Amino acid sequence: MYSNEKKALFSFLSIYVGSAVALIGAMLYFYYINEKKMLEDHCSMEMSNSAYEIKENILNAYMNHQKFVPTPLKTEGLQYALYDRDKNLIYSNLEESISDFSQTEFDTEHYSYHIATIKDEKVPIKYIVIETCQGIEDKQSLKYLIIGILILSGIFVTFIAYLLAKLLLKPVREKIEHMDQFIKDSAHELNTPVSVLLTSVSTLKQGRNPEKMMKYILGSTKQISQVYNDIHYSAFNDIDESMDESFELCVLVQESVDFFFDIANAKSIQIETSLEPLTILMDKTKTQKIINNLLSNAVKYSNRNTKIIVSINDGCFSVQDHGIGISEEEQKNIFKRYKRGKDNNEGGFGIGLDIVTRIIHEYGLSMHLKSKRKEGSTFSINFNPIKQ
């Protein structure tokens, strides 16, 4: 992973996870406050009911002139103590002793307390103290639950955010890799014509083989021009407008054949033509892009001392070469941008056939490829839908 990708991934995770955890944390906080209040109310109600029950039993006992005999509460987790008016202990099964009788309810570290008073002066018992640890334990359990949910949510959100970031960065990474490969291919593609051009100029200065050197210079210049045109069209064709016009396809094809004659001649490749008249309605520049890219590939991937056959027959334009060919597996991806054959050692950017495909789709045309490894390829385009 590139340093920029790591930085972007870290920034995305920080913002996404931070904001998500903060939102979840806020929701859990309000949930905790609400649940805590409910637990406190429930605990308070239980202690209050127990205190009221004990108070009723005490009052009933003294009204019947009987001595009150303390018994343990039936509610599990509740203990109580009885004190007289001077706060002397009469009975207790509390876990902790208390000395503060000024509050009705209060909490210590481990227990919750409720204090009820008996105002009848005839009854020696003045204070009823109820003790329980259940409220404290419930609130502690609730706190641990909230913290656990927050941690698990953070882990889950981080995992989801990481997957999303990888998915979002994947096309960017592929784009960067394609651009890196594109730059490498650019250097490789331009290296041969530039080297031939420099060598030819140097030889021409020495006065040797001027006619042959001029052919090399012309062929190299045309190759560089073709490379530039492909790059320019691929980068800026989205803003170009089509200007359709009626013209003879065979004339345009012959111009392209003449253009590639010197390039083919440098590899001792012959270009034969069989062109029937065909008038079409189409953007002439885009049509030439189709023809030039198919011819360029045919020359590039043909073996030396072979023949390229260019024809227009029954409304179909075809280019047949005798070169390296394309396997069935590679034919599935060869029309995608930046895709090239695995055994392609002839350079190229992988954008030529992508340009051709986009143009023929724009005009509703169809293209057929027939190819076999080490025997050659034939590209055919049906221009009948736009025939005039």
pTM, two decimal places: 0.49
Give the model's pLDDT for residue 206: 79
Looking at the chain, which residues constitute the CATH 3.30.565.10 domain(s)?
240-386
Give the model's pLDDT for residue 8: 75
DSSP character for 384?
G
pLDDT tens over the chain, length 388 residues = 567 767 777 887 888 888 999 999 999 999 999 999 998 898 899 999 999 999 999 999 988 888 888 888 888 889 999 999 889 999 999 888 888 888 899 988 889 999 999 988 888 899 999 999 888 888 889 999 999 999 999 999 989 888 888 887 777 777 777 667 666 666 666 766 777 678 778 887 877 778 777 877 876 787 677 677 766 666 665 445 678 999 999 999 998 898 888 778 878 899 999 999 999 999 988 898 889 889 988 888 888 899 999 999 999 999 999 888 887 777 776 665 444 444 544 444 456 777 788 888 889 999 998 888 888 899 999 999 999 8
d(CA 43, CA 267): 96
Q: Which superfamily, per CATH, for 240-386?
A: Histidine kinase-like ATPase, C-terminal domain (3.30.565.10)
- DSSP per position, 312-329: EETTEEEEE--BS---HH
d(CA 37, CA 310): 87
d(CA 132, CA 108): 11
Give the model's pLDDT for residue 237: 56
Give the model's pLDDT for residue 75: 82
Chain centre to alpha carbon of residue 100: 63
Give the model's pLDDT for residue 151: 93
Which tens digit of pLDDT belongs to each residue from 76-90? 889 999 999 889 999
Taking Cα atoms as reference points, which of 7, 17, 18, 3 lies closest to residue 164? 17
Locate tokens 């227009």: which residue?
312
Give the model's pLDDT for residue 240: 54
d(CA 256, CA 291): 7
Tell me the Ramachandran region of residue 298: left when phi exceeds 0, alpha when psi lies from -120 to 50, beta otherwise: alpha
